[in-house]
A and B are shown apart, each in its own frame.
Chain A
Amino acid sequence: MKWYLARKLLLYLLTFVVAVTIDWAIPRLMPGDPVSGLIARLQADPTAAQEMHGYYTESFGLDEPLWRQYLNFWLGLFHGDLGPSIAYVGSRVTDLIKTAIPYTLALLVPAIVLSYIAGNRVGAMAARRKVLDNTALPVSYVLTATPYMWLALVLAYIFAFRWQVFPVSGAYDFALQPEWSWEFAKSFLYHWTLPFLTLFLVSFGGWAIGMRNLIIYELEADYANYLQDLGAPNRLVRRYAYRNAVLPQMSGLALALGAVVGGALVTEIVFGYPGVGSLIITAIQNRDYFLLQGIFLFIILGVLIANFIVDIAYVIVDPRTRTGLQGS
């Protein structure tokens, strides 16, 4: 167990180093000068532009030798400083991300966990009941195949624009500012529903299909047949099947994380939800490479942590590793 987790940790550490390096290298390998773009947007007069160019190049540290920039990048990272934002001159990238991240997590975490639980349940039921199999499954196929943004747009149109039961965009009412209050919490939940539903529905479909197939697969396995021949009650057989099916579903969870994160980004964009996704689109539109870099790092970090949590959960659930744990 310890070894297993240590190995995993090492892997994640390595991944992180690689990701940071890629992240640092990409903007510097690409053509075009981010500072010129920034100044073009400010529409300053030529003499001022020249002075500003020098000033910004210096303040972004772009005038130093490459190895030094790389080192600075790591140093900054350890200090929680990802540099200044280009599009929003004067703000630090870290601060921008810090305010956005809670919103993204508030969408992602419940969506992942609830869709996983519900999907597995419904999938397992579908494996049992023919009626459900013929209704829930086709719907699930369509749901997993739907691009996140399209589902988001359709939900927004129907529920927010046509029927007006949910708000169109944002994370809370325009009349409010974030604060500790019931009014804010209510408004927050109300605005959270549709984007959450988008993420939930798409992931739900995938889990349901996966679970259904795994259970059927397990029910045909030798041990299941053997148990049945012994006259074990059906419920017991199914329980075994379910438990065996949960393991691959769990490693699937780790694989699916990247896709769900991608889904959350576009969903946020559609709903104007002030999370990391919306930040990414503003960064793209304003060619704010520092911000993009920072977001990328945060996403990697988040996915790594999530992976690690899944790993731990896996160890706890998997009887094989558990025995190993007790043995050592």
Chain B
Amino acid sequence: METTESTETVVAGTVVAKTASAEPQRKRSETLYFALRNKKLVIGLSLVLFLLLFAIFGPMFTDKDPFEFYEAYGEPPSKEHWFGTTSPGQDVYAQFVYGLRSSFIVGAVAGCVAAAIGMAVGFAAGYRGGVVDEILTMLTNVVLVIPTIAVLIIVSAYLTVGSLLWEAVLIGVTSWPWAARAIRAQTFSLVSRDFVSLARLSGQSGWKIIVKEIAPNMSSYLFLTFILLFGGSILIAATLDFLGLGPVEVMSLGLMLNVSVSNSALQLGMWWWFVAPGVGITAIVAGLYVMNVGLDEVFNPRLRRT
């Protein structure tokens, strides 16, 4: 009954796995043409780019430190403090831009780690097949079923997570399975293609074929997967930070939310302290998702709406 092992899945609203398998090698200019005409891609990408630039250059516009205390307690946005201050007098703008930075770092690192594991497992299983596939698929399915957040909660409760990197790696290590599964399915369908058989006949090693033949043929797909992992990791990190299980030495949007909530910012009228981190997280992730669907449409002609 292998037929029911459906290869297509939907993650965060994106059709994964059906898309790229038949991807023809299109001309670059054509892709670009569709890319620029795709409203979703343009909106999503500009949102993400804007936030990224904000995260990179935002801190340069202020001489404030996110952990420094100023003599302005819970004051609304002003010339001196653009996004207002927290009740003990920290600068919300500084916290926000540094928090944004943390979000991108966590997303990128966790996304990379998860993508790397997912690719390694997915390629190996899909290319090798047989016993290797059985074992790896079993492993994937086992990790897949265990809810990431539950594992992370229990692990971070024991290990005091002291650094951003640590947190990102933990998230990456637990969130790869769906990617592995999808990549395996893709690889499966590519392995039977002529160009792969040809490469095999020419006596190339397995990993070489994967790197040189298979991966490039699903590069757009891998990119989409990475974007989803990126966005998902940001959400997970925000949840952990909000629960007080993330690092507290580094400013992050989730930590801001945690502190603003434990100080009842909203109830005491300090909306600026509460709104900034929430909007920040939502904007990054929404931007990524929209961009992802846009890219999906660009890479995959069938999804384009006439």
A and B, direct touch (CB closer than 8 Å): yes
Residue ranges of A at the interface with B (Cβ–Cβ < 8 Å)? 1, 3-4, 7, 11-12, 14-15, 18-19, 22-23, 26-27, 29-30, 32, 140-142, 144-150, 153-154, 157, 161, 205-206, 208-210, 213-214, 216-217, 220-221, 247-249, 251-252, 255, 257-259, 261-262, 265-266, 269, 280-281, 283-284, 287, 289, 292-293, 295-296, 299-300, 303-304, 307, 314-315, 318, 320-321, 324
Q: Does B142 contact A (CB under 8 A)?
A: yes
Within 8 Å CB of B150, what residues of A?
A: 258, 261-262, 295-296, 299-300
A215 to B10, CA, bound (A): 12
Question: Which parts of B253-303 form the interface with A (CB within 8 Å)?
Answer: 257, 261, 266-267, 274, 278, 281-290, 293, 296, 302-303
Among residues of A, the one whose C-beta sits closest to the C-beta of B305 is: A216
Q: Does B218 contact A (CB under 8 A)?
A: no
Of A150, A153, A248, A303, the residue contacting B18 (CB under 8 A) is A248
26 contacts between A and B (CB under 8 A): A3-B1, A15-B142, A141-B290, A144-B285, A146-B278, A146-B282, A147-B281, A149-B239, A149-B242, A150-B278, A153-B261, A161-B266, A213-B10, A213-B13, A216-B305, A251-B6, A251-B9, A255-B11, A258-B149, A262-B150, A284-B153, A284-B243, A284-B245, A289-B158, A300-B146, A321-B3
Within 8 Å CB of B261, what residues of A?
A: 153
Within 8 Å CB of B244, what residues of A?
A: 284
A193 to B151, CA, bound (A): 28
B: interface residue count bin? 35 or more
Q: Does B14 contact A (CB under 8 A)?
A: yes
Tell me, rounded to whole Å, the shortest Cβ–Cβ distance linking B227 to chain A.
13
Instruction: Say whether, besides A258-B147, A269-B243, A140 and B10 are in contact (CB < 8 Å).
Output: no
Instruction: Say whether, besides A161-B266, A266-B242, A320-B3, A12 and B155 are in contact (CB < 8 Å).
Output: no
A78 to B175, CA, bound (A): 30
Tell me, rounded to whole Å, the shortest Cβ–Cβ distance linking A74 to chain B.
18
Tell me, rounded to whole Å, the shortest Cβ–Cβ distance linking B300 to chain A.
8
Beyond A153-B274, A213-B10, 18 extra complex contacts between A and B, CB < 8 Å: A15-B146, A18-B146, A22-B151, A23-B154, A140-B13, A146-B285, A153-B266, A208-B13, A210-B14, A213-B14, A214-B10, A248-B8, A257-B147, A262-B150, A265-B149, A292-B157, A304-B145, A320-B3
Main secondary structure of the interface of B (DSSP, over half): helix
Within 8 Å CB of A142, what residues of B?
A: 282, 286
B157→A206 contact, CB < 8 A: no
Return the 10 tightest CB-CB contacts between A and B, nearest first.
Answer: A209-B13, A262-B149, A258-B147, A145-B286, A145-B285, A30-B158, A252-B10, A4-B1, A210-B10, A150-B278
A300 to B8, CA, bound (A): 24
B282→A147 contact, CB < 8 A: yes
Of A15, A23, A30, A320, the residue contacting B141 (CB under 8 A) is A15
Within 8 Å CB of B144, what residues of A?
A: 255
Tell me, rounded to whole Å, the shortest Cβ–Cβ distance linking A111 to chain B.
15
Within 8 Å CB of B136, what residues of A?
A: none
Among residues of B, the one whose C-beta sits closest to the C-beta of A17 is: B142
Among residues of A, the one whose C-beta sits closest to the C-beta of B232 is: A259
B157→A318 contact, CB < 8 A: no
Among residues of B, the one whose C-beta sits closest to the C-beta of A11 is: B141
Within 8 Å CB of B13, what residues of A?
A: 140-141, 144, 205-206, 208-210, 213
A212 to B12, CA, bound (A): 12
A163 to B202, CA, bound (A): 72
Tell me, rounded to whole Å, the shortest Cβ–Cβ distance linking A83 to chain B.
15
